[in-house]
Amino acid sequence: MAEQPRLADNTDDLAQQFRETRLLTEALVSSLSDADASLQSMDDTSPAKWHLAHTTWFWETFLLRDHLPGYCLFDERWPFLFNSYYEAEGERVARGRRGMLSRPSLDEARDYRTHVTLAMEPLLARSDCADLIALGIAHEQQHQELLLTDMKHGLFQNPLGSEMFAGAPPPPSGADADNADWWEHPGGVAQAGHDGSTFAFDNEGPRHRVLLQPFALARRLVTNGEWLAFMADGGYSTSSLWLSDGWSWVQAHEVTAPLYWQAGEAGWTQFTHSGWQEMEAARPVTHISYYEADAFASWAGKRLPTEFEWEAVAQRQGADAAFAGHQLDIAASPLPVGGTDLFGDCWQWTRSAYLPYPRFHPVAGAIGEYNGKFMSGQFVLRGASCATPRGHSRTSYRNFFYPHQRWQFTGLRLAMDL
C-alpha cells in the first residue's frame, strides 16, 4: 500500500496512543449490559458490542494477520461477523442485521479485545508497521464516536429514558457573543487539504489551491435558543426556506424539531447520554440534518460555509483541534457546551459535496476502500464534536454524511458573503 503519514513522531508515542485508545473504548462501554451492547436501533447504527469487535478485527486483519508471523486468528468464523464494508476481505454480515448477533457475548468480545491488544505488543515498536498503526488508532477513535452516538439512538427508543452515564452533563458556557460577531476573510487563492507532515486520512489530500470570494464566518455555533426562534416563526412549515429534497423529507417524516427534542408542559426537554434533561437555550443546537441546517441559514438571511471557507478561517486563526473546544476526553456524557472555538461541541455542516480533491487516488488494496468509495451523495462536515476523541480531528479533517442523517452531533455555523 502507499505510505500514509504518521500519527506520532516515534513508535514510543504511537504505542502509548494505541494503549490509551484501546482503554478508552473499553471505558465507554463499562456500564453496558450484554443486552445494551447488542442493541441496533436502525440500519445506520451498529451495536456497541459490534464496535468493540470490529475495531479489534481491524487490528487482527491488517496488522497481526499480515505482519506477525505465526499469528492465528482468535476465531476463524469472526471475520465474517465483524468485517464492515471491505469487499477485498470477503463476505460479511449485512449492516442492518448486526443487531441479530446475540453471540458472541459482550464478555467474549472483551476477551477478543484483550487477546488482540496483547498480541499487538511486538508490532508497536516496529517502524515498518507505524503507518498502519496510526491508521488503526484513527479508525478506532472514529468508532468511539460512533459507539456513543449509536448507543444514544438506541437508548432513545426506550420509554424509560435510560442513561448510559450517570450524572448531569457539563453546564453550557454562557457565551453571549452576538451573532454579528464574525471572522472576515478577504478571499483570494488559498491552500486547502493536508500537507502530509503528520497523519491524515487519504480524503484530506492532495493539498491544492482554491479560489475564495470575500466572506465571513460566524464566531460561534447556532444555539438551541436561536433554533426555537426558527421553529416559532414557522421554520418547519415554510416551504420557501427548504431545498426541494429537504421539504419532501420534512413532510414525509413529519419533522418538527431536532432529533432528541420533546415538548412537554414544562417546556422542551432533550434526550442525552444521561437521560432526559431540560433543553438549555445557550447550548449549540445538535442532531440536525443538512436539510435543516440549510433551511435555518435561509431563514437567518445567511448561508452555510463551503468546506474551503471553513478551512481557510481555521488556518488564519491558527486553530489547534488538540486543545480547542469541548471534545471527548474521558468516558462521560457528551453534550455541547458552546463558545467561540472552531472545534468541538458539534460537527458543522458545510454546503460542499463530499467529492475527491484534484488528483486524488485511493491507495491499493482493502485499505483503499476506507474513504474514496463513499464520495457520492454526501456532504462535508468540519470541526469536531463533544463525542470526538480529542486529538482525532484537525483543520483539514473531512467528515461526511448523507443530507438526511442527524443521529450524529451535527450542527451549524453561519456564513455570509462580503
| Residue 262 belongs to domain with CATH number | 3.90.1580.10
The Cα–Cα gap between 407 and 260 comes to 9
Q: 273, 31 in Cβ contact below 8 A? A: no
Asked if residue 45 and residue 95 are part of one domain, the reply reads yes
Q: Are residues 189 and 108 in the same domain?
A: no
Which of 106, 122, 156 terminates a domain? The answer is 156
Asked if residue 78 is part of any domain, the answer here is: yes
pLDDT for 318-328, tens place per residue?
988 888 999 99
Pairing of strands 410-411, 347-353: parallel
What is the percentage of the chain residues whose pLDDT exceeds 70? Answer: 95
Do 251 and 297 lie in one domain? The reply is yes
What is the model's pTM? Answer: 0.94
What is the spatial distance between Cα 18 and Cα 121, in angstroms, rounded to a whole number? 10
Please tell me the total count of domains within the chain. 2
DSSP string, 91-134: ----GGGGGG---S-HHHHHHHHHHHHHHTHHHHT-GGGHHHHH
Same domain, 226 and 117: no
Q: Is the pLDDT of residue 202 over 50?
A: yes
Closest CA to 2 of 288, 262, 202, 292: 202
Provide the pLDDT for residue 6. 34
Q: Is residue 283 part of a domain?
A: yes
198 and 68 in a common domain = no
For 116-146, how does the pLDDT look when each residue is reduced to its tens digit (9 = 90+)? 999 999 999 999 999 999 999 999 999 999 9
Please tell me the predicted confidence (pLDDT) of residue 105: 97
What does the pLDDT read at residue 362? 84
Same domain, 191 and 142: no
At residue 4 the predicted structure's pLDDT band, cuts being 50, 70 and 90, is very low
Distance separating alpha carbons of residues 109 and 75, to the nearest angstrom: 11
* pLDDT recorded at residue 319: 86
* CB atoms near residue 259 (< 10 Å): 20
Q: Residue 201: what pLDDT?
A: 92
Mean pLDDT over 292-309 rounds to: 98
Query: Does 52 have pLDDT greater than 80?
Result: yes
pLDDT given for residue 85 in this prediction: 86
Bond from prior residue into 5 cis (ω within 30 degrees of 0): no
Check residue 175 and give its pLDDT.
Answer: 57
Question: Which of 176-190, 241-255, 275-289 has the least mean pLDDT?
Answer: 176-190
Same domain, 68 and 194: no
pLDDT 10s digits, 75-98: 999 999 999 988 889 999 999 999
In a domain, 50, yes or no: yes
pLDDT digits (tens, 9 = 90+) for 252-282: 999 999 999 999 988 999 999 999 999 999 9
Mean pLDDT of 298-309: 98
Indicate whether 263 and 129 sit together in one domain.
Answer: no
Distance CA 279, CA 27 (A): 27
User: Could you tell me if residue 312 is inside a domain?
Assistant: yes
Q: Mean of the per-residue pLDDT values for the chain?
A: 93
Rounded CA-CA distance 30/291 in Å is 36
For residue 183, what is its C-alpha cell? 471572522
User: From CA 382, how far away is CA 350, in angstroms rounded?
Assistant: 7
Decide if pLDDT at 8 tops 70. no
pLDDT, residue 2, reads: 32
Contact 407, 286 (CB under 8 A): no
Same domain assignment for residues 264 and 399 = yes
- Residues 163-186: what's their mean pLDDT? 79
| 165 in any annotated domain | no
Question: How far is the C-alpha of 168 from the C-alpha of 332, rounded, in Å?
Answer: 10
pLDDT, residue 180, reads 54
Q: Quick check: 11 pLDDT over 90?
A: no
User: Which of 173, 222, 143 minimizes the C-alpha distance to 387?
Assistant: 143
pLDDT at residue 3 is higher than 70: no
pLDDT-derived band at 372 (thresholds 50, 70, 90) equals: confident
**pLDDT over 90 (residue 315):** yes
Residue range(s) defining the domain that contains residue 74: 11-156
Q: Is residue 297 part of a domain?
A: yes
- Residue-wise pLDDT tens digits, 24-46: 999 999 999 999 999 999 999 99
- The residue type of 338 is G
CB-CB contact of 219 with 24 (8 Å): no
Tell me, yes or no, whether 173 lies in a domain: no
State whether 108 and 188 are in the same domain.
no
CB neighbours of residue 101 within 10 Å:
18
Q: How far apart are CA 283 and CA 286, in angstroms?
A: 9
The one-letter code for the residue type at 20 is E
Three-state DSSP at 230 gives: helix
d(CA 330, CA 202): 28
Identify the band that residue 174 occupies on the pLDDT scale cut at 50, 70 and 90.
low
Give the span between the Cα atoms of 277 and 266, in whole angstroms.
Answer: 12
CA 79 to chain centroid:
25
Q: Is the pLDDT score of 409 beyond 60?
A: yes
Shared domain check, 206 and 138: no
Residue 357 pLDDT greater than 90, yes or no? yes
163 falls within a domain: no
Do 193 and 275 belong together in one domain?
yes
Lookup result for grid cell 463533544: 386
Residues 6 or more apart from 84 whose CB is under 8 A from it? Answer: 54, 92, 95
Instruction: Find the distance separating the first CA and the last CA of the chain, reported in whole Å.
Output: 44
Q: Output the nine-digit C-alpha cell for 171.
A: 453546564
